[in-house]
Amino acid sequence: MNVKAKEAYKKMTGRKYLYLLSISVVIFLTFILDIMTGPASLSASEVISTIFFPASSERSVQVIVWTFRLPVALMAIVTGITLGLAGANMQTILDNPLASPYTLGISAAAGFGAALAIVFGVRVLPFTDTLFVPVNAFVFSLISCMAIYGIASFKRATSETIVLTGIAVLFLFNSLLALLEYTANPEQVQAIVFWLFGSLTKTTWTTLGITVGIVLMVIPLLAMDVWKLTALRLGDDKAKSLGVNVEKMRLKGLILVSILTSTAVAFVGTIGFIGLVAPHIARMLVGEDHRYFLPFSALSGAFILSTASVLSKAVVPGIVFPIGILTSLIGIPFFVWLLLSKKRGYW
Amino acid sequence: MTLKYPVERFVLMDSTCTAEFSSVYGEGFDSKIVGWDNYLRENSGDMYEKYVEKFPTMAEIPDVGSLDDNTFNAEKVIALNPDVVIMPNWEFMWNGEATKEALARMDQAGIPVVFLDFYMEPLENSTKSIQLLGKITGKEQRAQDIVDYYEEKVNSVYSRLEKIQGKKPTVYVECAYNGPDTYGISYGDVAWGDIVKKAGGDNIAEPVLLNKSKALSAEYLVNQSPDIIILTGRNWSTPGSLKMGYTFTSNVTKSTMTPFVNRPGWDTINAVENRKVYGIYHGYCSDVFNFVALETFAKWFYPEEFKDVDPVDTLKEYHRKFMPIDYSGTLVYRYY
């Protein structure tokens, strides 16, 4: 390898690291801002001292920071990471820029599971009580993923069949959901609709812990495959010639995606957009190399959701404003700007 | 449009007004309802159960659908050949277009429609609605007895409140149809919020919600730290919802209310520290029983001044005097 190429490579990776670092710093800032905003306004110094020395601040400030704001602010970041990773992985294994947990009906299935719990009190797993609604959502989104894969693998699992099956699943669960809403009473319909909007305010330390645990389990499994995933983006045939077992990668990917999405959706409701757009933002800025692409997708997701969390509190202070409404509203201008400012196509 | 008198065949749109209808009509009311919607069965299943237990033929009253979800079946109503259709006023608020269309259809068929209001201006229009029901059923005396009883109770509350000086207690009302993890809607200056205000309370939701109903954020609630918390319960199927109504024991109400009281941060709220957390039957917001809600709230807000008032006794008395079904279950509840 000549020196020039080495230099160029170094410069390129250097830029990618710089992007990763910058977005991390920005996320940290939105995180602090997220904890500062709310019905009781707190200063940055109050926030920081309450986080590090809880005993030294007033009881009410302690409750506000530790019970209400910290879990929500952290959940925004973790859910963003989860959805960003799920979307990135999904687009890669299905080789389709339109794939996302939302467009493939996983969120719709979760919504149906939640609605089933709200309307009939039907629980699909026997032992749960406080996590009744989320567990239903979780189980149904897993079911939908398995259904997508099951139907698609009847013949040979090409990415087109998987995407089309996903769309069929989306419509199926949407009509089932409409059926449930039709039979529900007004209070329940309101609860379902609100659930579907997505909201972080239900977060507790328990649900946050579960989400973090699952993300930490999935990340190494994805990290193992960064090279194979990068190869997959060259197309099935090329990946196969490089020794990648494409079918196996696809199954593993779908399972990981379903676990990630189901977890996120179960606890915060259906938040669309992030799974679709975060990977595109990442691809435009750091390219296809999955060593950078996956972490950057995750961080873009975290950035969008954390910003939305700050803004959702500013819409009408004191009221629970569904964050799902805001994610796309704030993300789209940025996304369109990126699309227009780049000269070549990124898919 | 003329009304055939006395009216023999009624269609009740919003069958939850069965309580008012049966109070006014008295004996034989059950055979006069020839059609209704499924509201009573779906939303007040506990009350429905009590009616059907005592008057089994009511289970066979045909369902004519509802304007709410576009299932209103005008043809079916016409086929039932009613002398009058009784509708709730709130249809105009929530389903304006559908209501107008239904009215036009009824008009074509020559079926008069009478509107009652126990919701939009509950404490002003409840008595008027009862009197109107009395007129069309030919039971004016019974209706007047109910109105007298209602007014006596309401006026007694107002006259006591007038004498009370000083700071009003701050109040939070939540419709506890969600489990404890998700906050249910609270009310601005409507429905429960209106009753809170009239009972001498300072509704913490009003400044942010105005005249809407939406969920408040947990943090706003804890930050406001209201003096009184009122959760409304019913026989909803939602997991974790607060169970109250004609068929629930106070033990069930208590055990479903505990997780709400244990919500994170609630231990710092005045209402919890001072042990002032209460439950009320959600249906009482929009029917003739709103006078009991008013009395109950006033007692909770000013326990000293209303020491000699017992809302449960009032409820029992009203049921004994006017209702065909007996008082039972848990309709107002004090947690501590």
- Do residues B151 and B315 lie in contact, with contact meaning Cβ atoms separated by under 8 Å? no
Task: Find where tokens 């009824």 sit.
Answer: B106
- Residue A60 at interface with chain B, using a CB cutoff of 8 Å: yes
Please report the pLDDT score of residue A116 as a whole number.
87
Nearest residue to A290 (alpha-carbon basis) of A339, A234, A332, A243? A234
Overall average pLDDT of the A310-330 stretch = 84
Please report the pLDDT score of residue B22 as a whole number.
94
ipTM of this complex prediction, to 2 decimal places: 0.75
CA distance B252 to chain A (A): 16
Three-state SS at B110: coil
- A264 pLDDT exceeds 80? yes
Please report the pLDDT score of residue A155 as a whole number.
66
Mark yes or no for CB contact B259/A130 under 8 Å. yes
CA distance A326 to chain B (A): 17
CA distance B201 to chain A (A): 19
Q: Tell me the CA distances in angstroms from A253 to A28, A140, A229, A256, B336, one per residue in order.
A: 29, 18, 10, 5, 53
Pairs across A and B, CB distance < 8 A: 110
Q: What DSSP line would sit under A26-83, residue for residue?
A: HHHHHHHHHHH-SSS---HHHHHHHHH-GGGS-HHHHIIIIIIIHHHHHHHHHHHHHH
- Do residues A238 and A231 lie in contact, with contact meaning Cβ atoms separated by under 8 Å? yes
The 8-class DSSP code of residue B191 comes to H
- Residue A316 at interface with chain B, using a CB cutoff of 8 Å: yes
| Chain A residue numbers touching B240 (CB-CB < 8 A) | 129-130, 132
Task: Find where tokens 């209106």 sit.
Answer: B194
Please report the pLDDT score of residue A240 as a whole number.
85
Nearest residue to A180 (alpha-carbon basis) of A119, A109, A114? A119
Overall average pLDDT of the A149-163 stretch = 75
Q: For residue A261, report the phi and psi dihedrals to the nearest 5 degrees.
A: -65, -45
Neighbours of B252 (CB within 10 A): 17
- From CA B221, how far away is CA A186, in angstroms rounded? 24
Q: For residue B186, report the phi and psi dihedrals to the nearest 5 degrees.
A: -115, 175
Please report the pLDDT score of residue B23 as a whole number.
93
Three-state SS at A132: helix
- Do residues A121 and B238 lie in contact, with contact meaning Cβ atoms separated by under 8 Å? yes
Please report the pLDDT score of residue B269 as a whole number.
94
Q: Tell me the CA distances in angstroms from B250 to A31, A341, B224, B290, B334, one per residue in order.
A: 44, 65, 29, 21, 9
Please report the pLDDT score of residue A236 as a whole number.
80
Residue ranges of chain B whose CB lies within 8 Å of a chain A CB:
42-43, 68-69, 175, 177-185, 207-209, 214-220, 222-224, 236-240, 259, 264-265, 268
Overall average pLDDT of the B144-158 stretch = 95
Of the pLDDT bands very low, low, confident and very high (cuts 50, 70, 90), residue A254 is: confident
Q: Helices A274-286 & A323-341, crossing angle to 10 degrees?
A: 30
Mark yes or no for CB contact A191/B177 under 8 Å. yes
- From CA A109, how far away is CA A180, in angstroms rounded? 13
Overall average pLDDT of the A233-239 stretch = 83
Overall average pLDDT of the A193-216 stretch = 88
In sequence order, the β-bridge partners of residue B229 are: B172, B277
Is domain A3-340 annotated with CATH 3.40.50.880?
Answer: no
Q: Lowest mean pLDDT: which of A124-133, A248-257, A269-278, B74-83?
A: A124-133
At B77, list the tokens: 């109503």
- Residue A58 at interface with chain B, using a CB cutoff of 8 Å: no
Please report the pLDDT score of residue A129 as a whole number.
60
Overall average pLDDT of the B137-146 stretch = 93
Please report the pLDDT score of residue A115 as a whole number.
86
**Exposed/middle/buried for A316, CB within 10 Å: 0-12, 13-18, 19+?**
middle
Maximum average pLDDT range among A81-90, A156-165, B94-103, B207-216 = A81-90
Please report the pLDDT score of residue A156 as a whole number.
67
- A46 pLDDT exceeds 70? yes
- A44 pLDDT exceeds 90? no
- From CA B244, how far away is CA B32, in angstroms rounded? 29
CA distance A304 to chain B (A): 22
| Chain A residue numbers touching B215 (CB-CB < 8 A) | 194, 319-320
Overall average pLDDT of the A72-81 stretch = 95
Q: Tell me the CA distances in angstroms from A301 to A68, A74, A138, A311, A328, one per residue in order.
A: 22, 13, 20, 15, 11
Please report the pLDDT score of residue A258 as a whole number.
83
CA distance B242 to chain A (A): 13
- A128 pLDDT exceeds 60? no
- Residue A41 at interface with chain B, using a CB cutoff of 8 Å: no
- Looking at every residue in chain A, the average pLDDT score rounds to 85
Please report the pLDDT score of residue A157 as a whole number.
65
pLDDT tens per residue across span A7-40:
888 888 888 899 999 999 999 999 999 999 888 8
Cis-peptide into B6, omega within 30 deg: yes
| Chain A residue numbers touching B63 (CB-CB < 8 A) | none
Q: Lowest mean pLDDT: which of A262-271, A325-334, B80-89?
A: A325-334
Minimal Cβ distance to A318: which of B216, B236, B268 = B216
Of the pLDDT bands very low, low, confident and very high (cuts 50, 70, 90), residue B129 is: very high
- From CA A140, how far away is CA B304, in angstroms rounded? 53
pTM value is 0.83
**Residue scoring higher pLDDT (A186 or A223):** A223
Q: Helices A70-94 & A274-286, crossing angle to 10 degrees?
A: 70
- A1 pLDDT exceeds 60? no
Please report the pLDDT score of residue A20 as a whole number.
92
H helices then E strands: how many in chain A?
Answer: 15, 0
Overall average pLDDT of the B40-61 stretch = 92
- A123 pLDDT exceeds 70? no
CA distance B275 to chain A (A): 19
Minimal Cβ distance to A121: which of B42, B218, B238 = B238
Please report the pLDDT score of residue B39 as a whole number.
85
In A, residues 165-194, which contact B (CB 8 Å cutoff)? 182, 185-188, 190-191, 194
**Exposed/middle/buried for A2, CB within 10 Å: 0-12, 13-18, 19+?**
exposed
- Residue A39 at interface with chain B, using a CB cutoff of 8 Å: yes
- A95 pLDDT exceeds 80? yes
